């Protein structure tokens, strides 16, 4: 009788734990994101952040009274960096994007010469058949959660790489427009070094001639 009762109690505990895990739902994902400390990437994500805060972080179910309070409380759970592709797209300058909805940004990252080929992605359609739909590249899957996540990630990497290249070019005195390819970056850098070396030689020559003249006297 005792063994039966223990077995039944154990089964009941298992059922309760399963029910508890099911009720946690997406909270488990939020907890994993917080524990990972990895950067969070999204598109136009302020609304998402507000929703996450109200549903999973707020004790009252309300947003803080001020934005400063919201940021301070958000960082207690998510201290890692945040990257918003909509905001990042404005950092590229030169009116590359214009319209900054997710589909347009993704399309430009695939098609605009300055951004294209920064990222290469291949879908593993062997292990996951669903990826065969994504690989059609017709943007017909927009607003599908998985595909939106893919477009956001792809756009983030493309823009980040473009900004990185731009920073390198500006450091070397080369404009982004001149750096449409790696060869142009190298050629411009080489020309700049050659000009600098040439000016140095021209400055040294008069001094050498002056020394020779003094020696003859």
Whole-number Cα distances in Å, 97 to 42, 84, 109: 17, 15, 9
Confidence of residue 194 (pLDDT cuts 50, 70, 90): very low
At 151, give phi and psi (nearest 5°): -60, -40
Task: State residue 203's pLDDT score.
Answer: 54
Could you tell me the residue ranges of all domains in the chain? 2-85, 95-184
Taking every pair of Cα atoms in the chain, the longest distance, rounded to a whole number of angstroms, is 123
* Residue with more model confidence, 12 or 17: 17
Strands, DSSP E only, in 66-163? 82-84
Tell me how far apart the alpha carbons of residues 77 and 67 are, in angstroms, rounded to a whole number. Answer: 16
Return the pLDDT at 71: 94
Q: Confidence band (pLDDT; 50, 70, 90) for 187?
A: very low
Cα–Cα nearest to 52, from 30, 70, 67: 30
Instruction: Give 8's pLDDT tier (boundaries 50, 70, 90).
Output: low
Among 69-73, 92-96, 98-102, the least confident range = 92-96
Percent of the chain with pLDDT over 70: 66
Note the pLDDT tens digit of each residue in 99-148.
Answer: 889 999 998 898 888 888 888 877 777 777 777 777 666 556 777 788 89
């Amino acid at each position: 009788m005792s063994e039966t009762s223990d077995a039944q109690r154990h089964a009941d505990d298992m059922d309760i734990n399963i029910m508890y895990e099911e009720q946690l739902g997406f909270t488990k994902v939020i907890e994993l994101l917080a524990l990972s400390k990895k950067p969070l990437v999204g598109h136009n994500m302020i609304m998402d952040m507000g929703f996450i805060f109200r549903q999973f972080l707020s004790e009252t179910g309300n947003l803080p009274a001020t934005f400063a309070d919201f940021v301070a409380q958000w960082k207690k759970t998510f201290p890692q960096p945040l990257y918003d592709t909509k905001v990042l797209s404005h950092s590229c300058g030169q009116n590359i994007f214009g319209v900054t909805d997710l589909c347009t940004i993704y399309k430009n990252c695939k098609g605009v010469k300055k951004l294209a080929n920064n990222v290469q992605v291949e879908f593993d359609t062997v292990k996951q058949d669903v990826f065969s739909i994504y690989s059609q590249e017709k943007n017909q899957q927009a607003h599908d959660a998985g595909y939106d996540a893919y477009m956001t990630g792809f756009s983030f990497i493309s823009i980040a790489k473009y900004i990185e290249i731009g920073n390198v070019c500006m450091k070397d005195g080369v404009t982004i427009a001149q750096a449409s390819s790696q060869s142009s970056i190298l050629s411009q850098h080489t020309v700049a070094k050659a000009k600098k070396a040439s000016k140095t030689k021209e400055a040294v020559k008069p001094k050498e001639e002056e020394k020779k003249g003094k020696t003859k006297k």
